[in-house]
């Protein structure tokens, strides 16, 4: 502790504030309608201010603020990271790098990878030199993920993979895939599964784009015809990949329920919802001039507030060592359901203009509202659907019988 | 401040839990109801609570209190809620004490607070005049005559109204019936000439009373706060009451939820425990989420009181807590009855008592709509 005046953490805050002031390009300091599209781009494909910002943050290790310094991370404590996040939010600085590398496979490797695997993959994840996709779902393996059929055959120093995956988000943009494959015999479906990493740019991988109700085509069907994965990229033990796959799902869920940028730029929508309601319905003495809409918005915002307080409470309890961990099991379910209600209210507030598909008669906000309402429907399906989340709460938290 | 209880507060919660489950189990409320007990709570148990220091839990040490804060009172009330325990905690310790600490003269504090700590007097707030909570719709008049005021009017649904020793009466000293201006709070001795008491038998078997004031003379020294400017003080007293009541409701709804989950594991139909049915599992899991939210809004509001947050943010937290907790208690109490099947409809099974308490507590000091609207106004919606 410095002897006089400021505590260590306050000194850190001031350093961060000054550094951001110097290094975060002005043009990026705004609310992004779709931060993911902008900041998931590979390092070598970045241009302009987005590239400058990424490089600056890489020098600090702050693309992965809490990861160990030895792999290129920031080595920050949770407390320091909270300071960094709040200072970034203060100036509207966007996250410099987003994607499944940072949110899913990276944390899983930190938990369960060998030292060699960490050294091989974490530095490139932190710098955005690799971009990852998730090869979990198959036509007959959705919620029942353990039903996968894609096979990997042991060929000595490598595996040969045949089969197909579906709903591969960003498959056409990714350089690497983490993938669940069947390698062994089993009595229970969860046995005989292995967790492999391999490069996407190789012969035998065919992608077919899938178009969504939002008009977007962010993901693919992925077909494997004698695709190669090196043995060194087997995570966890052979035939014991289910444990690894499940660990990754935990990281995926906490990033969906709890992240500031997801689901679908929820951050942006909160002040917008109230502004839009007043703009489209009028305002009397500061009130939204439509009693039914006003009531629905108030109820939603109260629930949203209560949810935010719940994430804070869970964090504070964990820090004080007074947590059973039960509370966090509701985050994915409640966060995604709540975000969908927000989208519904936006549509309701904005009337027919927010139902326009395209055209110059309509504002960007109107067009974006419709698209994100549609794409937001996915948040209660992927990462373990809402029903699966409720099953988990019923069984693991409430201990209700099978 | 962080949103978790300190070790001291957790210890207090544990001992409160022991106290209420052994001394004031739910069966105590049933006994009070069945014997038509005139006091409406067990005076023996209250004496024990006084001996534990709980009567002065929020009262400053200089008046003999524990000065343990609202989180302290909150954890006690939460545990009282678990067994639906009837006691003067809400009317005396939350409402009455706040009125005197915030609005009383130094004489009032010096004279009355030590008596509260010692359990020698109980207090209450007489505010509502109509069936739906509207704290500034005040018709009860106080007219100045010399150095006295003369009080006339009627109050309904006064908690512990017929047993309290001192009443804090909200009266109109000027302005229209619905105006925030012109409201004054008076500390009135319950034995004063011209007061009559008409206890109301409510569905939750707890104390409530209609009180009539017929030209009751009150000395001007008995004004709490400022004449005509009582609205702000009243808001704060009510907010403390709403927050503490929310803590009590949180205890009750958790108990009802826990009992329901246990019942799902115990009851067998179709040769299996009914808790195996997904139609019930998902409803239970949704309730779990709502209960978690309820815990968060309560601890946030208690923390705001202990932090001495400004009145506006306390108002906001109080309305958030009261609205959300009322909604969750309504959900849980309905599902409790439903999932207990026919048994839940019987008087013998205790879950029905939670349903009854849920609705009375919901309406006390403002229902869901009242607080949603208030929260909306505070947030410029
Ligand atoms: C936008 C988007 C992106 C995705 N990205 C990826 C990706 O990158 N990689 C990847 O591998 N996968 C991805 N997925 C796939 C996703 O993981 C699956 O959609 C998800 O697991 C659900 O499987 P399913 O679609 O086959 O639905 P199904 O499992 O067939 O479910 C259909 C319905 O039945 C319900 N249901 C199923 N089982 C139960 C049960 N036991 N109890 C109660 N209800 C049940 C479900 O909740 C759902 O409502 C993505 C999906 C979407 C929508
Ligand atoms: C006021 C009243 C009057 C009555 N009068 C008569 C009468 O005159 N004669 C008579 O014979 N009976 C009478 N009954 C009994 C009534 O028919 C039963 O209460 C009813 O069949 C439910 O059974 P249960 O109470 O045992 O509840 P349970 O069957 O134990 O149900 C408990 C809970 O589990 C749920 N549940 C049960 N099975 C399933 C499932 N497979 N899937 C999902 N959820 C399930 C139920 O919906 C309920 O929420 C009366 C009941 C009441 C309350």
Q: What is the pLDDT of residues A387-398, one digit of tens each?
A: 999 999 999 999
Q: What is the DSSP letter of B294?
A: H
A396–B contact, CB cutoff 8 A: no
pLDDT of residue A271: 75
**Beta-strand (E) ranges in A123-175?**
132-135, 151-154, 158-169
Interface touch B261/A400, C-beta < 8 Å: yes
Q: Kindly tell me if the per-residue pLDDT of B304 is higher than 80.
A: yes
Element (H, E) at B141: strand B141-145
Q: Kindly tell me if the per-residue pLDDT of B239 is higher than 50.
A: yes
Q: Kindly tell me if the per-residue pLDDT of A264 is higher than 50.
A: no
Q: Cα(A165)–Cα(A154) distance, rounded to whole angstroms?
A: 20
Interface touch B293/A274, C-beta < 8 Å: no
Q: Which of B278, B281, B286 to mutate to test the pocket of ligand 1 (most atoms within 8 A of CB)?
A: B278
A294–B contact, CB cutoff 8 A: yes
Q: Residue A227 in contact with residue A198, Cβ under 8 Å?
A: yes
- Spatial neighbors of A331 by CB under 8 A, at least 6 apart, are A253, A254, A257, A258, A311, A314
Q: Kindly tell me if the per-residue pLDDT of B276 is higher than 70.
A: yes
Residue B273 Cβ < 6 Å to ligand 2 = no
Boundaries of every domain in chain B? 7-122, 125-228, 231-378
Q: Kindly tell me if the per-residue pLDDT of B1 is higher than 90.
A: no
Residue A134 Cβ < 6 Å to ligand 1 = yes
Nearest chain B residue (CA) to A311? B296
Q: Cα(A268)–Cα(A273) distance, rounded to whole angstroms?
A: 9
- Rounded average pLDDT over B121-149: 98
User: What residues of chain B lie within 8 A of the CB of A309, using their CB?
Assistant: 3, 293, 296-297, 300
Which ligand has its closest atom nearest to the C-alpha of A166? 1
User: What residues of chain B lie within 8 A of the CB of A401, using their CB?
Assistant: 265, 272-273, 275-276
Residue A66 Cβ < 6 Å to ligand 1 = no
Residue A170 Cβ < 6 Å to ligand 1 = no
Torsion angles phi and psi, residue A159, rounded to 5 = -110, 150
Task: Map tokens 């299996």 to a residue.
Answer: B272
| Ligand 2 atom closest to residue B267's alpha carbon, by position in its atom list | 30
pLDDT of residue A270: 66
Q: Kindly tell me if the per-residue pLDDT of A119 is higher than 60.
A: yes
Q: Kindly tell me if the per-residue pLDDT of A260 is higher than 70.
A: no
Q: Residue B125 in contact with residue B364, Cβ under 8 Å?
A: no
Please report how the helices A364-375 and A266-281 are oriented relative to each other, as an axis angle in degrees rounded to 10: 130
Residue B283 Cβ < 6 Å to ligand 2 = no
Structure confidence at residue A78 as a pLDDT band (50, 70, 90): confident
A288–B contact, CB cutoff 8 A: yes
Q: Cα(B101)–Cα(A368) distance, rounded to whole angstroms?
A: 54
B180–A contact, CB cutoff 8 A: no
The CATH number that domain B7-122 falls under is 1.10.540.10
Structure confidence at residue A328 as a pLDDT band (50, 70, 90): confident
Tokens representing A44?
């070598």
Q: Residue of the nearest CA to atom 35 in ligand 1? A: A387
pLDDT of residue A269: 59
Class of domain B231-378: mainly alpha
Q: Are β-strands B148-158 and B141-145 bridged in parallel, bridged antiparallel, or unpaired?
A: antiparallel
Chain A, residues 302-331, CB within 8 A of chain B, namely 302-303, 305-307, 309-310, 312-313, 316-317, 319-320, 322, 327, 330
Strand partners, A179: A135, A196
Q: Kindly tell me if the per-residue pLDDT of A321 is higher than 90.
A: no
C-alpha A284 to ligand 1 mean position (Å): 44
- Rounded average pLDDT over A145-151: 97
Buried-state track A228-243, b at ≥16 Cβ within 10 A, e below 16: bbeeebbbbebebbbe
Q: Residue of the nearest CA to atom 16 in ligand 1? A: A382
A6–B contact, CB cutoff 8 A: no
Chain B, residues 248-277, CB within 8 A of chain A, namely 261, 264-265, 272-273, 275-276
Residue A143 Cβ < 6 Å to ligand 1 = yes
Q: Kindly tell me if the per-residue pLDDT of A322 is higher than 90.
A: no
Query: Per mean pLDDT, which range of A161-165, A383-387, B13-17, B98-102 is the poorest?
Result: A383-387
Residue scoring higher pLDDT (A256 or A322): A322
C-alpha B340 to ligand 2 mean position (Å): 9
pLDDT of residue A267: 47
- pLDDT of B104-120, one tens digit each? 999 999 999 999 999 99
- pLDDT of B168-210, one tens digit each? 999 999 999 999 999 999 999 999 999 999 999 999 999 999 9
Closest by CA to B202, choosing from B70, B32, B68, B317, is B32
Q: What distance in Å separates residue B94's CA from the closest CA in chain A?
A: 24
C-alpha A343 to ligand 1 mean position (Å): 21
Q: Cα(A13)–Cα(A88) distance, rounded to whole angstroms?
A: 11
Chain B, residues 18-47, CB within 8 A of chain A, namely none
Interface touch A402/B276, C-beta < 8 Å: yes
- Rounded average pLDDT over A200-226: 94
Domains, chain A, with CATH or none: 8-98 (1.10.540), 130-241 (2.40.110.10), 267-397 (1.20.140.10)
- pLDDT of B329-373, one tens digit each? 999 999 999 999 999 999 999 999 999 999 999 999 999 999 999
Residue length of chain B: 381
Nearest chain B residue (CA) to A322? B4
pLDDT of residue A258: 52
Q: Are β-strands B166-172 and B123-126 bridged in parallel, bridged antiparallel, or unpaired?
A: parallel
C-alpha B334 to ligand 2 mean position (Å): 15
Tokens representing A339?
């975000």
Nearest chain B residue (CA) to A290? B381
CATH topology of domain B125-228: Butyryl-CoA Dehydrogenase, subunit A; domain 2 (2.40.110)
Nearest to B4 among A298, A299, A322 (CB): A322
- Spatial neighbors of B132 by CB under 8 A, at least 6 apart, are B363, B367, B370
| Ligand 1 atom closest to residue A387's alpha carbon, by position in its atom list | 47
Q: CA-CA distances (angstroms) from residue A109 to A120, A235, A243, B310?
A: 10, 8, 13, 47
A387 is catalytic: no
Domains B7-122 and B125-228 fall in the same CATH topology: no
- pLDDT of B61-106, one tens digit each? 999 999 999 999 999 999 999 999 999 999 999 999 999 999 999 9
Tokens representing B41?
């709570």
Which one of A252, A337, A366, A368 is the catalytic residue? A252
Q: Residue A177 in contact with residue A144, Cβ under 8 Å?
A: no
User: What residues of chain B lie within 8 A of the CB of A300, using their CB?
Assistant: none
B11–A contact, CB cutoff 8 A: no
Q: Kindly tell me if the per-residue pLDDT of A357 is higher than 80.
A: yes
Residue B338 Cβ < 6 Å to ligand 2 = yes
User: What residues of chain B lie within 8 A of the CB of A270, using their CB?
Assistant: none
C-alpha B368 to ligand 1 mean position (Å): 36
Task: Map tokens 């915002």 to a residue.
Answer: A301
Residue B339 Cβ < 6 Å to ligand 2 = yes
The pTM of this model reads: 0.93
């Amino acid at each position: 502790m410095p002897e006089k005046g400021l505590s260590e953490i306050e000194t850190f805050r001031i350093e961060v504030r000054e550094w951001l002031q110097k290094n975060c390009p002005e043009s990026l300091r705004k609310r992004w309608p779709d931060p993911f599209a902008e900041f998931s781009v590979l390092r070598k494909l970045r241009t302009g201010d987005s590239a400058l910002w990424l490089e600056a943050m890489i020098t600090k290790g702050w693309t992965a603020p809490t990861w160990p310094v030895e792999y290129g991370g920031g080595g920050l404590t949770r407390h320091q990271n909270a300071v960094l996040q709040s200072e970034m939010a203060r100036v509207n600085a966007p996250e410099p790098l987003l994607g499944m590398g940072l949110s899913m496979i990276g944390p899983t490797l930190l938990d369960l990878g060998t030292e060699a695997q960490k050294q091989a993959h974490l530095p490139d994840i932190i710098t955005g030199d690799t971009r990852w996709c998730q090869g979990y779902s198959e036509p007959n393996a959705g919620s029942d993920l353990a039903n996968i059929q894609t096979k990997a055959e042991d060929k000595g120093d490598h595996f040969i993979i045949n089969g197909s995956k579906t709903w591969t988000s960003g498959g056409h943009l990714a350089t690497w895939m983490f993938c669940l494959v069947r390698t062994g015999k089993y009595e229970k479906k969860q046995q005989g599964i292995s967790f492999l990493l391999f490069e996407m740019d190789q012969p035998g991988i065919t992608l077919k784009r899938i178009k969504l109700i939002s008009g977007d085509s962010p993901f693919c069907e992925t077909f494997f015809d004698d695709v190669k994965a090196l043995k060194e990229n087997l995570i966890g033990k052979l035939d014991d990949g289910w444990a690894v796959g499940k660990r990754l799902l935990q990281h995926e869920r906490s990033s969906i329920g709890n992240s500031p940028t997801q689901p679908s730029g929820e951050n942006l929508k909160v002040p917008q919802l109230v502004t839009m309601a007043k703009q489209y319905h009028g305002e009397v003495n500061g009130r939204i001039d439509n009693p039914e809409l006003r009531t629905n918005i108030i109820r939603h915002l109260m629930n949203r507030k209560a949810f935010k307080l719940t994430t804070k409470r869970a964090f504070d309890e964990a820090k004080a060592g007074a947590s059973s961990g039960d509370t966090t099991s509701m985050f994915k379910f409640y966060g995604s359901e709540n975000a969908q209600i927000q989208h519904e209210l936006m549509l309701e507030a904005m009337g027919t203009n927010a139902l326009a598909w395209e055209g110059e008669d309509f504002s960007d906000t109107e067009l974006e509202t419709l698209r994100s309402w549609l794409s937001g429907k996915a948040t209660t399906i992927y990462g373990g659907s809402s029903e699966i989340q409720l099953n988990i709460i019923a069984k693991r938290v409430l201990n209700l019988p099978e | 401040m962080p949103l978790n209880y300190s070790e001291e507060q957790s210890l207090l919660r544990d001992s409160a839990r022991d106290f209420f489950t052994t001394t004031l189990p739910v069966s105590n409320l049933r006994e009070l109801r069945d014997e038509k007990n005139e006091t409406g709570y067990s005076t023996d148990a209250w004496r024990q609570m006084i001996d534990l220091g709980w009567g002065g839990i929020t009262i400053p040490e200089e008046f003999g209190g524990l000065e343990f804060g609202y989180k302290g009172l909150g954890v006690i009330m939460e545990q009282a809620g678990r067994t639906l325990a009837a006691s003067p905690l809400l009317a005396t310790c939350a409402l009455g004490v706040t009125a005197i600490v915030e609005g009383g003269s130094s004489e009032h504090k010096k004279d009355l607070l030590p008596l509260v700590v010692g359990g020698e007097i109980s207090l209450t707030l007489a505010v509502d005049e109509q069936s739906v909570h509207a704290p500034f719709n005040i018709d009860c008049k106080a007219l100045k005559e010399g150095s006295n005021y003369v009080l006339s009017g009627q109050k309904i649904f006064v908690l512990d109204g017929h047993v309290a020793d001192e009443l804090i009466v909200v009266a109109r000293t000027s302005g229209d019936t619905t105006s925030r201006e012109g409201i004054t709070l008076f500390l009135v001795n319950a034995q004063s000439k011209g007061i009559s008491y008409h206890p109301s038998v409510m569905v939750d078997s707890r104390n409530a009373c209609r009180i009539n004031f017929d030209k009751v003379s009150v000395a001007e020294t008995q004004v709490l706060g400022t004449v005509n400017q009582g609205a702000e003080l009243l808001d704060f007293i009510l907010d403390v009451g709403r927050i503490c009541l929310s803590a009590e409701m949180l205890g009750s709804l958790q108990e009802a939820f826990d009992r329901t989950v246990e019942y799902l594991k115990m009851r067998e139909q179709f040769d299996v425990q009914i808790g195996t049915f997904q139609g019930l599992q998902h409803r239970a899991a949704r309730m779990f989420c709502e209960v978690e939210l309820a815990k968060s809004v309560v601890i946030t509001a208690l923390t705001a009181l202990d932090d001495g947050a400004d009145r506006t943010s306390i108002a906001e937290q109080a309305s958030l807590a009261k609205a959300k907790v009322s909604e969750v208690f309504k959900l849980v109490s309905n599902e409790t009855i439903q999932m207990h099947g026919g048994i839940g409809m019987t008087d013998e099974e205790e879950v029905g008592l939670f349903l009854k308490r849920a609705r009375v507590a919901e309406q006390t000091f403002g229902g869901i709509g009242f607080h949603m609207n208030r929260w909306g106004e505070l947030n410029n919606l």
